[in-house]
Each structure stands twice: as C-alpha cells, then as structure tokens.
C-alpha cells in the first residue's frame, strides 16, 4: 500500500518529486477550472471501464526526463453513490504495480475530487474534470492539485486501445498548448504488453 501511494504521488499526480523541487520557480500556472472545458451531459456509467493513458502533459513533466515512460492503464468502476473506484496499473516488465483511489462527484457531472485526501501528505486539494470523451474511443481528462502550496496540473489522453490516431494525438497536443504547456511537457508513454491486468 505504501508503495502504491508512492506510485500515485509519482505518476498519477504528475509531479516527480525531484522535478517538483527542481522546477519550483518556473512552474507554468494552472488554469482556473472555469477556463477548462467540461464534457457536456457527462454519462458516468458509459465512462466506466478501462482506459489506457496514451498521452500525458503537465507543468511538472519533462519530456526528456520521461522518454522511457511506460504506459499505464486506469480502470473506473462506478459505485452506487456516483463515486468511482479508480485503479491504475503501471504496465511494465516483470512487475505490475497498481494503486487504487476514489473520485468523489463534485459540483457538476464530470467533475470530481480525490477521496480520502488526508491519506496523501502534502496534498491540499485535488480536482479532476472530464474535458471531452466519446466513451468508446477517447477521452481527455484535466487534473489539478495543490501540493505543498504549489499548483500542479496535468491533462491525460485516454484511449480504449493503446494506440490512437495521429489526429487524436494532435488534438491533445493542441489542447495541452492552449493550457500554456509546451512540447517539452508532453509525453506519449511507451505501450508495453508485458503486464496486463484484466
């Protein structure tokens, strides 16, 4: 569990600890949530299931440091209270790390807050917003967290399959740049077949 939480803070939250320390002075400011699109009429049941993280971009990411970043998968399971159990699995050779979190519904459908936030030392707030999805092929998700008085943000490109078209990737790059990020902040993780959780 401790390892799982570590992975969570390292990977899911988009802030490699060393980078957080090193890049502190020049973090690109996180956009206000109101400026980030929200999928209209979000259907939480249809969004369930497994998504591959095909692309990642964030103000604490650096493409060069993460050139060997392995793909991971995230599975959303809806509870009766409209929260999600969110299980992420790093796909890598010999070992499968997985970690579980809860996303609690927030103000509008498609907006969530991290559950049990007190379990994650240093995290003051953590919000999730579904930017756009067609439910059966692709999704873009915006994550923002306040951690030790700094704001980190990240957008992920989810695919129901490990590969997405160049057009969908370009669309993701355009969106990341509209939020102030640059090519250096955008990563396309390496697909890896060695470890697949069903």
Ligand X SMILES: *[C@@H]1O[C@H](CO)[C@@H](O)[C@H](O)[C@H]1NC(C)=O
Give the footprint of ligand X on this chain (CB under 6 A). Answer: 77, 79, 85
List the one residue out of 152, 22, 23, 143 whose CA is nearest residue 88: 143
Shortest Å distance, C-beta 83 to ligand X: 8
Shortest Å distance, C-beta 175 to ligand X: 30
Other C-beta atoms closer than 10 Å to the C-beta of 29 total 10
Q: Report the residue number, 62 or 85, with the smaller CB distance to ligand X.
A: 85
d(CA 66, CA 103): 26
List the one residue out of 175, 171, 138, 170 whose CA is nearest residue 155: 175
> Between the CA of residue 36 and those of 61, 115, 118, 152, 159, what are the distances in Å?
19, 22, 26, 15, 20
Q: Report the residue number, 85 or 171, with the smaller CB distance to ligand X.
A: 85
Shortest Å distance, C-beta 48 to ligand X: 9
Q: Report the residue number, 22 or 77, with the smaller CB distance to ligand X.
A: 77
Q: Report the residue number, 41 or 45, with the smaller CB distance to ligand X.
A: 45
Shortest Å distance, C-beta 66 to ligand X: 30
């Amino acid at each position: 569990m401790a390892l799982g939480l570590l992975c969570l803070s390292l990977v899911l939250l988009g802030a490699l600890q060393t980078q957080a320390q090193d890049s502190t002075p020049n973090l690109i400011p996180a956009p206000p949530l109101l400026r980030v699109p929200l999928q209209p009429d979000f259907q939480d049941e249809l969004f369930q299931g497994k998504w591959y993280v095909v692309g990642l971009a964030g103000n604490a990411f650096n493409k060069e440091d993460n050139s060997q970043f392995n793909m991971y998968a995230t599975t959303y399971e809806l509870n009766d209270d409209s929260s999600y159990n969110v299980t992420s699995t790093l796909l890598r050779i010999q070992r499968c790390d997985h970690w579980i979190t809860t996303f609690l519904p927030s103000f509008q459908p498609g907006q969530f807050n991290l559950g049990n936030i007190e379990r994650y030392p240093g995290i003051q707030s953590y919000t999730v917003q579904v930017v756009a999805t067609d439910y059966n092929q692709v999704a873009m998700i915006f994550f923002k967290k306040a951690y030790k008085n700094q704001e980190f943000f990240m957008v992920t490109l989810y695919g129901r399959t490990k590969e997405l078209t160049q057009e969908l990737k370009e669309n993701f790059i355009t969106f990341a740049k509209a939020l102030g990020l640059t090519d250096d902040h955008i990563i396309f993780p390496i697909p890896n077949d060695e470890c697949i959780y069903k």
